[in-house]
Chains A and B, each alone.
Chain A
């Protein structure tokens, strides 16, 4: 079964750059893009726009931006960690903020990692490569999905 990356990003330029960065380092996994926190939760729990999606297939990795409209990144993370079906999914916060409070809060809410989006695209591509190689290849994903 192919490993899916869920990218939660409201900025379309950042989205394109992230996809390009992954492509540039040869990561060709399917990247599902959602534009805000509410859509992210819809996807994960199979509701709203994504009603009927088989939630047994959970993304291998969630890349979460913090500054999202409607439901913000921290709230999304809280809800992901609060639900049995999704609480083990690896979540990497990918944001432009490097404020200490955001880093602390992210980890407190249960993020697996915190990566600052570099301004330089070369560095961004390198970061994407490092993330992709680790979480998609090296890391052993948890067995997630609804209890049988």
Chain B
């Protein structure tokens, strides 16, 4: 322990001792007046709670000190004031022994509780430190990786623009491959950064109108792809206790997937609503698109795991991992059902503390 810790530990020890003495004095005083009517009966009446208080405040040492002082008080301090001894026969000694044993036990329990609390506090602080380090790391990773990526992408583009005509088809294709991969890497970095943001940001739940969020994101998706018509069915006024920013990210990812995987379907249909599964109220997003094989359902939410090639449907493989992290951070559950070319339904349920809906 360094000097600062030792000084603070000594000061705490004095404080605990002080409290132990104080409670015993109060207990003794109360025993003298107004409880003097009890005379020598129930000698330990006020001292039991006194030691309990000392133990709760200062742990084992304070409890033991309080116990000893209480015994001394009953043996030698009170009799002069009351005019009669408190400990006369073996029953009284037994009473004192029971008092001492009980108080020691209580002090021990109080000490164990305090130690457990301290450990929990330490674990919490360590988690905070780890979280801050993770934040710094993921920020610098994304930031520092983007710079050389920009360089590679930029100069490949410059080569293609200014010297492309001096290259044959294979040469130009090679440059295009560089560009495609650079863009893909950029998308991966952005998705990873978004995922890490979900992990490190604070979750501030409030009552969110999910139906409204769904409608807003859906309209953004429509605007981004004006050529497509998607039949959107939304149950209105469905609310949940969610962090609004994370709720938005969740809907963006789930709806974005629904839009993407119905891209090859002539009459695309996306539904949002609430239902009951296993006696639990769950929101769902259903689409009639490419779906997936339930045999691979376990891979669905793992980062970078995809069930389609990039050529079939673009993507980073991080969207659903992000959704899962958001749902878990709210203490909720996420699962999916689907059939190949028969659409997919994603369910998410949150711990019951919301209102509205059914």
CB neighbors of B among A1-55 (8 A)? 11, 13-14, 17, 20, 24
Contacts of B157 in A (CB 8 A): 120-122
Contacts of A119 in B (CB 8 A): 146, 149-150, 153, 182-183, 186
Tell me if B335 is interfacial: C-beta within 8 Å of chain A.
Answer: no
If A13-B155, A20-B158, A122-B157 touch, does A117 touch B150 (CB 8 Å cutoff)? yes
**Bound form: Cα–Cα A140–B264 in Å:** 50
Contacts of A14 in B (CB 8 A): 147, 150-151
Contacts of B148 in A (CB 8 A): 13
If A97-B143, A119-B186 touch, does A124 touch B150 (CB 8 Å cutoff)? yes
B161 closest partner in A (C-beta) = A24
Contacts of A124 in B (CB 8 A): 150, 154
**Bound form: Cα–Cα A44–B204 in Å:** 44
If A13-B150, A13-B155, A17-B154 touch, does A120 touch B139 (CB 8 Å cutoff)? no
Tell me if A99 is interfacial: C-beta within 8 Å of chain B.
Answer: yes
**Bound form: Cα–Cα A118–B186 in Å:** 9
**Bound form: Cα–Cα A117–B143 in Å:** 11
Tell me if A67 is interfacial: C-beta within 8 Å of chain B.
Answer: yes
**Bound form: Cα–Cα A14–B183 in Å:** 17
CB neighbors of B among A97-146 (8 A)? 97, 99, 117-122, 124
Contacts of B183 in A (CB 8 A): 119-120
Contacts of B149 in A (CB 8 A): 119
**Bound form: Cα–Cα A20–B147 in Å:** 16
Whether B154 lies near A121 (C-beta < 8 A) is yes
Contacts of B151 in A (CB 8 A): 11, 13-14, 17
Contacts of B186 in A (CB 8 A): 119-120
Among A17, A99, A118, A121, find the residue whose CB has the most chain B CB atoms closer than 10 A: A121
Contacts of A120 in B (CB 8 A): 153, 157, 183, 186
Whether B139 lies near A99 (C-beta < 8 A) is yes
Whether B143 lies near A17 (C-beta < 8 A) is no
* Least CB distance, A134 to chain B, in whole angstroms: 22
**Bound form: Cα–Cα A20–B156 in Å:** 13
Contacts of B143 in A (CB 8 A): 67, 96-97
* Least CB distance, B176 to chain A, in whole angstroms: 13
If A96-B150, A119-B146, A120-B186 touch, does A17 touch B155 (CB 8 Å cutoff)? yes
* Least CB distance, A3 to chain B, in whole angstroms: 25
Q: Which of B147, B155, B156, B161 contacts A11 (CB 8 A)?
A: B147
Contacts of B154 in A (CB 8 A): 13, 17, 20, 121, 124
* Least CB distance, B344 to chain A, in whole angstroms: 31
Q: Which of A17, A20, A97, A99 contacts B150 (CB 8 A)?
A: A17
Contact with A along B204-223 (1 / 0, CB 8 A): 00000000000000000000
**Bound form: Cα–Cα A67–B142 in Å:** 13
**Bound form: Cα–Cα A14–B149 in Å:** 10
Write the residues of chain B forming the contact surface with A, with a CB cutoff of 8 angstroms: 139, 143, 146-151, 153-158, 161, 182-183, 186
What 8 A-B pairs have minimum CB-CB distances, sorted nearest first? A13-B151, A121-B157, A121-B154, A119-B186, A17-B154, A96-B146, A119-B150, A119-B153
Q: Can you name 22 A-B residue pairings with CB atoms under 8 Å?
A: A13-B147, A13-B148, A13-B154, A14-B147, A14-B150, A17-B150, A17-B155, A20-B154, A20-B158, A96-B143, A96-B146, A96-B147, A96-B150, A97-B143, A119-B150, A120-B157, A121-B150, A121-B154, A121-B156, A121-B157, A122-B157, A124-B150
